[in-house]
Amino acid sequence: MAELEAVIGLEIHVQLATKTKMFCGCELSFGDEPNVHTCPVCLAHPGVLPVPNEQAIRYALQIGAALNCEIAPRSIFHRKNYFYPDSPKAYQISQYDIPICGAGRLGDVRIHRAHLEEDAAKMIHVGESGRIHGSGASLVDFNRGGTPLVEIVTEPDLRDAAEAAQWARLLRETIRQLGVSDVNMEEGSLRVDANVSVRPAGSEELGTKTELKNMNSFRFLQRGVEAELARQRELVESGGTVEQETLHFDPASGSLTSLRSKEEAHDYRYFPEPDLVPLVPSEEQLREARESLPELPVARIARYQEMGLAYDVALTLATDPRTAGYFENVVEAGEGIEPRVLANWVTGELAAALRQAEVDGGAADSRISPPDLAKLVRLVQEKKISHGSGKKVLAAMVKGGGDPEKIVEREGLAQMSDSGELEAIVEKAMADNPDAVEKIREGNNKAIGAIVGAVMRETKGRADGGEVNRLIQEKL
Amino acid sequence: MIAFASSLDQCGPLTRTVSDAALLLGILQGKDPCDSTSVGLEGGVRLPDREDLSGLRFGVPAELGHDEYDSGVRAVFEQTLRKIEALGGEIAEVSLPSSEHGISAYYVIAPAEASSNLARYDGVRYGMRAGGDGDLVQMYETTRSEGFGPEVKRRIMLGTYALSSGYYEAYYGQAQKVRTRIAEDFSGAFSGVDFVVTPTAPSVAFGLGEKTDDPLAMYLNDFFTVPMSLAGIPAISIPAGLAEPEGGGPQLPVGFQIAAPAFGEQKLLDAAYALEQGIGFDARPEGLDG
Ligand SMILES: [Zn+2]
């Protein structure tokens, strides 16, 4: 049998951080006492009508612009009809065949569509599991009901669970930097569903998919998709077929349970919402949405890669615009030093030093000015101090700031310039570690570490690692 | 106003005279911040004072076959057309070929929207609840079975069916296409005339409960008024005379319907006022003095 390839698409619900709900004036909230942010509109009293939230439309247009979506010149709202207590009207106002945002792209993944809709109320199932099965009663909190949502649907362009989680992170970061949502997965302001299927590698056809609902962290997303892919692979490889169904992943047990099968799928009886007129964005709204975009992670990553940064370092910086800004200031001050080296200091050594010192906040909030960090890196690059001493200076700077040159002077960390002194120390270290010397002679180069370590201890890190290595090789 | 069929629902004045209708419409009209589909009439509504109909053209649909309405209604309708001419108006023929499908389209669209609008009466948050001791679905079913009357249930069933997957295009989709055609017919007609006129109903008022067992006959009573609602244009019905029911009995009022292009309310009220004055219909019930 041909090898099976995973095909994954994501559906992401983004709660928009507007002041008020999608179709009424109730305030958005999280964690407030139940049913205090309600009104006749979001409780679906007889005789009320929805009035669209302009800010939500603006945010949806910004998301569309950030995801390079085609914006529909005229999109319409539909009613999605279903009976359930979380839906007081017994229908959700959503978009169906003409969404506000059409085809787009983020990174390597094509966007199928993104549309505006309203969130359902929150159901609280009384009982130990917190889930409906085995619960004696359910309560409804309408505070969340009517919160504006943008649902983003990707094309099935993802090929494994890690890639799916990685891309979802990029999407969250993109949306977060737009400032249109809190994108907090635990609080549910970002919710991810995955459509998962397998097919013979190289096939163009899509296999039957299952839908994994509502995984509330990227880790659970990855684990859920991995578990489901494993299940499908095993099923197909043993001659079975995948049935279309909706699944729940329980991260505690790692198990998948079926929520409903295809036969139980709802017939939502979609039809155009007659209470609303079509959504026709003005030229000005479209321009505003485009112009409001900050430099988004995807663009930043590309720019940093062009500067010579590795992808993961570029990604780390792109997901943290304040640190990225700091890094760019360091680059400016550190003219002549490779940005790649400076980036490693910012995301590596400095981040570690801040963690070590238990300092809150990132590089941008630290006591180290970008020119001072650039100066420190230059000292290391020019071999005026060793890398190890550089880290010591950095630790001192994290605590009290200051000019790295002065700290080097104060702490006596300048690189050993007297090669005769260093040579003597190396010789002594080799004499003290005859086993290591023997191993190196036999071709085990790793053993050199023991000797280098001994030299560094003796010199308190002031020796240049490269020079020490050279001397050891010479003496052999 | 409680939603029944949202794309057709509207509030309109029901008054004894055209002037009263104008007064009330003046209050009702306007952009409502709680209704995003509403728009105001530019310049508002003023009291009508037109005395004749000179220079105005009234279109009678060529498709208005004689089978569709009672002879008594026809007599009053034709007599009213003569009155229009006497007041200086001109009668012309217009073509509204799709209007005959109006009832069919209406009785798909209205129940479909009603099935959705009435779904909120589920016993969860307010109003009547029955069968609350059982599970959720049982409570829904009992509440709605006991709470709605037979005609409402009929429409909910019809509408739910018309929107179901696999039937949507054949019913709701088709009805929407008919609706578009009807609107196009009217805009075509209004390129040649100022108004379209028809009887308001095919017969005089039938007895209370008389057609309950024959819903189709009851639905057909809306034959002349439904196309205007579907097209989204203003129309007014004024009493034009009296006629005997087809089976005999005391004479009852006959309505005359005038329809105008969208936002033509003022023009419509002016013409209806002139015609009302010309007809001089006495709206007071028989045997009442003063
Ligand atoms: Zn509300």
Is A269's CB within 8 Å of B164's CB?
yes
Spell A198-227 as b/e; 16+ CB within 10 A means b: bbeeeeeeebebbbbebbbebebbbbbbbb
Alpha carbons B269 and B21: distance in angstroms, whole number:
8
Q: A249 and A122 in one domain? A: yes
Beta strand A190-200 pairing with A210-215: antiparallel
Residue A453, SS3 per DSSP: helix
Stretch A10-25: mean pLDDT: 98
Closest CA to A189 of A150, A139, A136: A150
Q: Cα A476 from chain centroid?
A: 50
Closest to A44 (Cβ–Cβ): which among B1, B120, B168? B120
Backbone angles phi, psi at A122, to 5 degrees: -95, 130
Contact A69/A114 with Cβ under 8 angstroms? yes
Q: Sheet harboring A255-261: ordered strands across? A: A104-106, A109-118, A148-154, A4-15, A190-200, A210-215, A245-250, A255-261
A348, amino acid identity: G
ipTM, two decimals, is 0.91
- pLDDT for position A263: 72
Contacts of B247 (CB under 8 A, 6+ apart): none
Predicted TM-score of the model (pTM): 0.85
Contact A289/A169 with Cβ under 8 angstroms? no
Spell A441-469 as b/e; 16+ CB within 10 A means b: eeeeeebbebbbebbbebbebbbbeebbe
B78, amino acid identity: E
* Rounded percentage of chain B residues whose pLDDT exceeds 90: 80
A332 lies in some domain: yes
Is B37's CB within 8 Å of A277's CB?
yes
Closest CA to B253 of B88, B85, B16, B86: B16
A447 — pLDDT class (breaks 50, 70, 90): confident
Residue B68 DSSP class: G
Contact B116/A92 with Cβ under 8 angstroms? no
Interface of B with A in 122-151 (CB under 8 A): 122, 124-126, 136, 140
Contacts of A229 (CB under 8 A, 6+ apart): A6, A160, A161, A196, A198
Give the residue from A97, A275, A276, A277 with the most B CB atoms within 10 Å of its CB, the best one to mutate: A275
CA distance A161 to chain B (A): 34
A418 pLDDT exceeds 80?
A: no
* B91-127 pLDDT per residue, tens: 999 999 999 999 999 999 999 999 999 999 999 999 9
Around Cβ B107, how many Cβ atoms within 10 Å? Answer: 21
Is B120's CB within 8 Å of A90's CB?
yes
Stretch A349-354: mean pLDDT: 91
Give the residue from A135, A138, A271, A273 with the most B CB atoms within 10 Å of its CB, the best one to mutate: A271
Ligand 1 mean position, distance from CA B111 (Å) = 27
Stretch B285-289: mean pLDDT: 58
- Write down the residue that tokens 């009213």 correspond to: B80
A237 lies in some domain: yes
Question: Encoding tokens for residue A212?
Answer: 């994994």
Residue B107, SS3 per DSSP: helix
Question: Encoding tokens for residue A74?
Answer: 């005229």
Is A269's CB within 8 Å of B7's CB?
no
A286, amino acid identity: L
A208 pLDDT exceeds 60?
A: yes
Q: A151 and A29 in one domain? A: yes
A192 pLDDT exceeds 70?
A: yes
Give the CA radius of gyration of chain B.
Answer: 21
Alpha carbons A209 and A235: distance in angstroms, whole number:
13
**Residue ranges making up the domain that contains A441:** 419-475
Is B125's CB within 8 Å of A44's CB?
yes
* A222-281 pLDDT per residue, tens: 999 999 999 999 999 999 999 999 999 988 888 999 988 877 778 999 999 999 999 999
Give the CA radius of gyration of chain A.
Answer: 29
Name the maximum alpha-carbon separation found in chain A.
94
Number of domains in chain A: 3
The mean pLDDT value of chain B amounts to 93
A316 lies in some domain: no
Interface of B with A in 220-249 (CB under 8 A): none
Contacts of B129 (CB under 8 A, 6+ apart): B123, B139, B143
- pLDDT for position A349: 92
Closest CA to B224 of B65, B116, B93, B80: B65
- pLDDT for position B288: 54
Is B116's CB within 8 Å of A79's CB?
yes
- pLDDT for position B289: 56
**In terms of pLDDT, which residue wins out, A424 or A176?**
A176
A122 lies in some domain: yes
Stretch A327-348: mean pLDDT: 94
Q: A431 and A372 in one domain? A: no
- pLDDT for position A417: 59
Alpha carbons A300 and A307: distance in angstroms, whole number:
11
Contacts of B90 (CB under 8 A, 6+ apart): B56, B57, B58
Is B124's CB within 8 Å of A88's CB?
yes
A297 lies in some domain: no
Q: Could you say which of A269, A291, A313 is where a domain stops?
A: A291
- pLDDT for position B216: 81
Q: A394 and A455 in one domain? A: no
Q: A362 and A449 in one domain? A: no
* A294-335 pLDDT per residue, tens: 999 999 999 999 999 999 899 889 988 889 999 999 999 999
Q: At what angle do helices A297-306 and A161-178 cross, to 10 degrees?
A: 110
Indicate left, alpha or beta for A362 from its phi (over 0: left) and psi (-120 to 50: alpha): beta
Looking at beta carbons, which residues of chain B come within 8 Å of A45?
126
Give the residue from B37, B161, B168 with the most A CB atoms within 10 Å of its CB, the best one to mutate: B37
Interface of A with B in 52-91 (CB under 8 A): 52, 79, 81, 83, 85, 88-91
Residue B234 DSSP class: -
Contacts of A284 (CB under 8 A, 6+ apart): none
- pLDDT for position B284: 67
A419 — pLDDT class (breaks 50, 70, 90): low
B86 pLDDT exceeds 60?
A: yes
Stretch B263-288: mean pLDDT: 88
A301 lies in some domain: no
DSSP string, A72-117: PSSB-EEEEE---TT-TTSEEEEE-SS-SB-SEEETTEEEEEEEEE
B150 pLDDT exceeds 80?
A: yes
With 0-12 / 13-18 / 19 or more C-beta atoms within 10 angstroms meaning exposed / middle / buried, residue B153 is middle
- pLDDT for position B290: 47
Residue A255, SS3 per DSSP: strand
Alpha carbons A40 and A341: distance in angstroms, whole number:
60
The mean pLDDT value of chain A amounts to 91
* A395-410 pLDDT per residue, tens: 889 888 888 988 888 8
* B199-241 pLDDT per residue, tens: 999 999 988 888 778 878 888 889 999 999 999 999 999 999 9
Is B172's CB within 8 Å of A271's CB?
yes
Looking at beta carbons, which residues of chain B come within 8 Å of A89?
119-120
User: Which of A285-299, A328-342, B63-77, B252-266 bottoms out in mean pLDDT, i.e. has the lowest?
Assistant: B63-77
Residue A178, SS3 per DSSP: helix
Q: A337 and A443 in one domain? A: no
Residue B171 DSSP class: I
CA distance A99 to chain B (A): 19
Q: A339 and A282 in one domain? A: no
Closest CA to A117 of A239, A212, A246, A22: A22
With 0-12 / 13-18 / 19 or more C-beta atoms within 10 angstroms meaning exposed / middle / buried, residue A438 is exposed
- pLDDT for position B149: 95
Asked if A46 has any chain B CB less than 8 Å from its own CB, the reply is yes
Contact B240/B80 with Cβ under 8 angstroms? yes
DSSP string, A322-347: HHHHHHHHHHHHTTTS-HHHHHHIII
The CATH number covering residue A457 comes to 1.10.10.410
Q: Which domains does chain B have, with CATH numbers?
A: 10-47 (no CATH), 48-279 (3.90.1300.10)
Asked if B36 has any chain A CB less than 8 Å from its own CB, the reply is yes
Q: A446 and A390 in one domain? A: no
Q: Could you say which of A291, A311, A332 is where a domain stops?
A: A291
Q: Could you say which of A291, A308, A332 is where a domain stops?
A: A291
Give the residue from B108, B117, B169 with the most A CB atoms within 10 Å of its CB, the best one to mutate: B117
- pLDDT for position B287: 58
Q: A262-270 contacts: CB < 8 A, separation 24 or more? A: A266/A82, A267/B164, A267/B165, A268/A80, A268/A81, A268/A82, A269/A79, A269/A81, A269/B115, A269/B116, A269/B160, A269/B163, A269/B164, A269/B165, A269/B168, A270/A78, A270/A79, A270/A80, A270/A81, A270/A96, A270/B163, A270/B168
Asked if A274 has any chain B CB less than 8 Å from its own CB, the reply is yes
Residue A367, SS3 per DSSP: coil
Q: A226 and A96 in one domain? A: yes
Stretch A99-106: mean pLDDT: 98
Q: What distances in angstroms separate CA B220 from CA A399, B58, B226, one per listed residue?
A: 87, 24, 10
A47 to chain B: closest CA residue? B2
Question: Encoding tokens for residue A184?
Answer: 């907090």
B66 — pLDDT class (breaks 50, 70, 90): low
Is B116's CB within 8 Å of A85's CB?
no
Q: A328 and A431 in one domain? A: no
Q: A352 and A237 in one domain? A: no
Q: B139-142 contacts: CB < 8 A, separation 24 or more? A: B140/A83
A357 — pLDDT class (breaks 50, 70, 90): confident
Asked if B34 has any chain A CB less than 8 Å from its own CB, the reply is yes
- Write down the residue that tokens 């203003």 correspond to: B234
Contacts of B233 (CB under 8 A, 6+ apart): B186, B259, B260, B261, B262, B264
Contact A265/A239 with Cβ under 8 angstroms? no
- Write down the residue that tokens 């940064």 correspond to: A309
Q: A171 and A59 in one domain? A: yes
